[in-house]
Each structure stands twice: as C-alpha cells, then as structure tokens.
Amino acid sequence: MSLEVVSGGRDRTVFDKFNTASSPILFPVGERKVGWQQRDGAYRETRGHKAIIRLNEKGDNAQLLNIVGSTYKLVHNRELMGAVEEAMCNEMLPEHLAGVQVTDKVSGWGKLCFRTYVFPNIKCKVNTPGIKSDIGFRIIVQNGYGGSALRIHAGAIDFYCTNGMIRGEYVSAYRRHTSGLVVGKLNSTIADALVEFAKAGEEWQAWSKTPVKHEKAMDLFRAIASSEKMREGLTDQYMRETEGRGNNLWAVYSTLTYYASHPEGDFALRKSVEEQDNVAVTVLRHELDVARWVHMKEWKQLETA
C-alpha cells in the first residue's frame, strides 16, 4: 500500500507557532531540595530525593508536581518536543509536514503532558459501502514531570468521526528519566511509525471487507466491557456504525475507537476532583486498551470468520 501525500510547502519553522508561551505544556519547571521537619522545627535535607516544581511565569511562586529520586533527570517539554520535531523534519518530506495540526493537553497541573501531532497530508483511505474514511497519520508524545517516562505513540485518526487509533500495543519510544537519559536520536522512531502506518492501512482496508455476524460482535463486547453500561454503550454504537459502514470488522473497530475517543454520552468520564483535567490520561489509556483488544481471541474469531 502507498500513502497518499498531498502537496504543499513549508520550511523548518513549521512548528514554531505551536512552541510559544501560550502552549499549556510549555510552562517553566525546576528542581528544589526536600527535607523533613525535626522536633525542634528545623528541617534536615533528604539527599536521596528532590522536588519537581511548576513555576509561574515570573518564577516567584511554585506548585509541587512530584517528589522524585536524586538520579531523576528533568527533561523539559520544550527540549523533548524540539527533539521530536527535529526528527520529523529529518524523516518527513515537506509535503508531509505541510498543514500539521498540534494539540497540547495536561493532567494534574502538568504532572503529565501530552502533545498530539496530526498530519492531514499523510493519509490512507478505508472504503466501506456507506462511508469512505480518510485516515490521517498521528503521533502522540507524552512527558511526565515525575509521574511517567517519556513515551511516543504511533497512531492515526479517522477524519470522518475523529476517532483516534494507536497502532499496536507497543510504544514506539520509551525513555526513563534517569541520569543517563539522552532525548535525541529519534529519527528511527519516526521512520518506523510511518512504516507501521502504511501496514495498518492495508489491514484496515481488509477489515472493511470482512463480514461480521452480530452475535460474534456481541461476544467481543461482553469480553471487554467492564460494566453492563459499557456493554450496552458499545452495542448501541455498533448499531449506529453498521448503518453507515455495514456489518463488517471495520464497523466493530470503529465502535471500539469511538469508545476510546469520545469521553461523553454513553462513555462519559468522571473527572478527578484533585486534578484540573484527567481526560487526556484516560483517553490515551482507552486507546491503548483498544490496541490490546484486537489481539484477543474474540477479535481473532471475528477476523478469521
């Protein structure tokens, strides 16, 4: 399968407009010593740990993000995104980068940060009897200030219904925040993600031509649903999907990706009181769930029917 590339121009500053102070993930962070209070009220430094803090724009106030070990290496979002974007510029054609869309989200006041890149000019098509979907290439970059390793997820997005997809149960890149961490050398990660996207397009098109029996789809939903409400929601969404896409495996997959991508209605999330926004974390977890579900025996039975 060949990718469809729509022509367009750009220069190496294509990402500059997303890397300004208005971005919710490009806030200043720093490190501080930590200690414990003795009976006399004095504090004794704890050498094995340090605090990761979020500063305000003036640098005169701070919000504690996490307490980490002394060997933890602080990697600023600006540094990480800069390395990712440099790799994209090295591995993608100007036509690939033209019109790139970037969305930034945070959870827990910045304990976890996400940047999603969508490339509308790198896409494949999945044709069903009622709906022809353009599937665009997508990369998700995750950084945690004390709460998570660096991760890069390869995936896609269905422009017809804005359903997100992560290709495979794997993470394209995983780096722990240790003293030996080197952020650079991500070219192969981006190149591999593009190859996987091309392979996925062939698989998705095959799914659109694979008929599915209703009861077999219900078996899958019963196997993956964590509650009766979730099972009913999946069933209702599947009926809507089949109206447009037909009774095929792509309709089943679209049902799963709709569940992962739409945290409202039948699949509404409960936001944490302690955090500003936990939706981004949960949506990503659900997308990874979907990537795992397509390896279950119930899915394989649909795929080989």
pLDDT at residue 185, rounded to an integer? 74
Whole-angstrom distance, CA of residue 119 vs CA of residue 194: 11
Closest of 32, 13, 45, 15 to residue 145, by C-alpha? 32
Report residue 134: phi and psi, to 5°.
-90, 125
Q: What is the DSSP letter of 68?
A: E
What's this model's pTM, rounded to 2 decimal places?
0.88
Whole-angstrom distance, CA of residue 231 vs CA of residue 222: 6
Q: Which residues of 74-107 are buried (b: 16+ CB within 10 A; e: fewer)?
A: ebbbeebbebbbbbbbebbeebbbbebebebbbb
Beginning with the edge strand found earlier in the chain, give each strand of the sheet holding 29-37 in spatial order: 29-37, 43-55, 62-69
- Mean pLDDT lowest among 141-145, 177-181, 197-201, 221-225: 177-181
Note the pLDDT tens digit of each residue in 199-222: 999 999 999 999 999 999 999 999
Average pLDDT value over all residues in the chain: 87
CB 91 within 8 A of CB 194: yes
Whole-angstrom distance, CA of residue 290 vs CA of residue 167: 10
pLDDT at residue 7, rounded to an integer? 40
pLDDT at residue 169, rounded to an integer? 58
Note the pLDDT tens digit of each residue in 51-90: 999 988 765 678 999 999 998 888 899 988 998 999 999 9
Q: Which amino acid is at 214?
A: H
Taking residue 144's Cβ as centre, other Cβ atoms within 10 Å add up to: 22
Residues 6+ apart with CB under 8 A from 122: 3, 4, 5, 92, 96, 136, 137, 194, 197
In angstroms, the first-to-last Cα distance of the chain is 24
Closest of 305, 304, 302 to residue 220, by C-alpha? 302
pLDDT at residue 171, rounded to an integer? 56
Indicate if the pLDDT at residue 234 is higher than 60.
yes
Lookup result for tokens 């080989």: 304
Whole-angstrom distance, CA of residue 55 vs CA of residue 26: 11
CB 146 within 8 A of CB 72: yes
